[in-house]
Amino acid sequence: ETEIVDFRNNVIFNWGFNSSYGGEMGQQNMVNNYYKPGPATKRDVICRIVEPWDTLGRWHISGNRVEGSRKISRDNWQGGVQGDYAWHQAIRAEEPFPVAPVRTTTARKAYRHVLRDAGATLPHRDGHDSRIISETRSGQCAYGDSYGAGTGIIDSQNSVGAWPLLLTYNVPADSDGDGMTDTWEIKKGLDPADPGDRNIIAPSGYTMLEEYINGLCKL
């Protein structure tokens, strides 16, 4: 069965020698993504959205924004789809391949939404995620190893201060191991000895386990 890849509303920043490539025997949607070259991006691929490697894959590519190129942002096939240009007619799909319904924003909106909301943001981002978001916004990178200083491509987590120290604390009792504390289950009228009650659907439409997890962070 031919694979279908649906790649949309992502932010791609500071790729090195290639943003994406391949796609052999696949059907690819690449829709409304935001491409932003950075210090490590090679000049000959600075406007590359994708480099198909043969004529066996089919590609629907539209709505992607390449920062620094109005021409390619208007028409992604005018320089953003690279490789052998003689293949374009054979590999291009005018309509997207069918996937499950998904809300899609413009590439510009996706850029704002991803930088604001992507990742583990509650109750706040950790230092590494915050640094990556800041570098993406500014287009400038503080670290770099084999690619060179300030390129943003590191060889080891030790180059950026290693993993942060994560504080632990005494874990509340969870007698049935269902992921919800005994005190919370009793408060909600559940049975702390029954692990199956985590799957009960609450009035909100979420499971009780989801209700518990959602309550751990102040929104």
> Is position 142 within any domain?
no
Of the residues 53, 75, 91, the one at which a domain ends: 91
Longest dimension (CA), the chain: 67
What's the token pair of residue 48? 């590359």
* Confidence class for position 163, pLDDT limits 50, 70, 90: confident
> Is position 101 within any domain?
no
Q: In total, how many domains does the chain have?
A: 2
Of the residues 57, 91, 125, the one at which a domain ends: 91
> Is position 122 within any domain?
no
Domain residue limits at 51: 4-91
> Is position 160 within any domain?
no
* Confidence class for position 218, pLDDT limits 50, 70, 90: low
> Is position 116 within any domain?
no
> Is position 132 within any domain?
no
Q: 4-26 pLDDT, tens per residue?
A: 999 999 999 999 999 999 988 89
pLDDT of residue 217: 78
Of the residues 31, 64, 91, the one at which a domain ends: 91
* Confidence class for position 168, pLDDT limits 50, 70, 90: confident
> Is position 46 within any domain?
yes
Using an 8 Å Cβ cutoff, are 219 and 122 in contact? yes
- 207 Rama class: left (phi>0) / alpha (psi -120 to 50) / beta: beta
> Is position 208 within any domain?
yes
pLDDT of residue 121: 87
Name the pTM for this structure: 0.80
pLDDT of residue 123: 80
Q: What percent of the chain has pLDDT over 90?
A: 79
**Type and span of the H or E element at 71:** helix 70-74
Look-up: residue for tokens 């500014």?
138
